[in-house]
A and B are shown apart, each in its own frame.
Chain A
Amino acid sequence: DAGVIQSPRHEVTEMGQEVTLRCKPISGHNSLFWYRQTMMRGLELLIYFNNNVPIDDSGMPEDRFSAKMPNASFSTLKIQPSEPRDSAVYFCASSTGRPSTDTQYFGPGTRLTVL
Chain B
Amino acid sequence: AQKVTQAQTEISVVEKEDVTLDCVYETRDTTYYLFWYKQPPSGELVFLIRRNSFDEQNEISGRYSWNFQKSTSSFNFTITASQVVDSAVYFCALSGGGGADGLTFGKGTHLIIQP
**A residues within 8 Å of B by Cβ?**
31, 33, 35, 42-45, 48, 50, 55-56, 59, 89, 91, 93, 98-101, 103-109, 111
Contact = CB atoms under 8 A, between A and B. Distances in A.
Interface residues of B, number: 22
Contact of A103 (B47, B106, B107): B47
B44 A109 contact: yes
A43 B102 CA distance: 11
A99 B101 contact: yes
B45 interface: yes
6 contacts: A33-B102, A43-B105, A45-B103, A45-B104, A93-B45, A105-B47
Q: Which has the most chain A C-beta neighbours within 10 Å: B91, B100, B106?
A: B100
6 cross-chain pairs, A with B, having the tightest CB-CB distances, nearest first: A45-B102, A99-B101, A106-B45, A100-B96, A43-B105, A100-B101
Interface in B39-74: 43-47, 50, 52
